[in-house]
Amino acid sequence: MFRFEKLEVWSKAVSFADRIYEVTRPFPTDERFGLTSQMRRASVSISSNIAEGSGRSSNKDFVRFVEIAYGSVMEVVSQLQIAFRQSFVAAEARDELYASAEELARMLSGLKTSLLDK
């Protein structure tokens, strides 16, 4: 098992990306290369950066990737609001994903703190 696979935040990030894929599936076809793609890529980037950072040789390097993952969470939150305002996402799905994003942000902040303390 790889180091990142032991991290709960990585598992939650993968689940978050799964949910983003589900929510964006019914988006209009003309958004396929726009908001749909942006939201999917940003959500996948969260777990990908956690995984890549965990393979770095120092905790300082890992922290940089955790910061990038955090930025991707913020990107999805912004895009989620746009999707909601365009009526592509229902309020319930927006609220669920927003809560998940808040949890991921907290967990990433905790991971960063833990890595810096070592």
Distance CA 79, CA 45 (A): 14
Lookup: tokens for 13 = 């990030």
pLDDT tens, residue by residue, 1-12: 999 999 999 999
Predicted local distance difference test score (pLDDT) of residue 118: 82
In the chain, domain spans: 3-117
Confidence of residue 23 (pLDDT cuts 50, 70, 90): very high
Lookup: tokens for 87 = 């009526």
Q: Beta-strand (E) ranges in 22-90? A: none
For domain 3-117, the CATH class is mainly alpha
Predicted local distance difference test score (pLDDT) of residue 43: 98
Distance CA 53, CA 60 (A): 9
* 23-44 per-residue burial string, b: 16 or more CB within 10 A, e: under 16: bbeebeeebeeebbebbbebbb
pLDDT tens, residue by residue, 50-103: 999 999 999 999 999 999 999 999 999 999 999 999 999 999 999 999 999 999
pTM score of the predicted model:
0.97
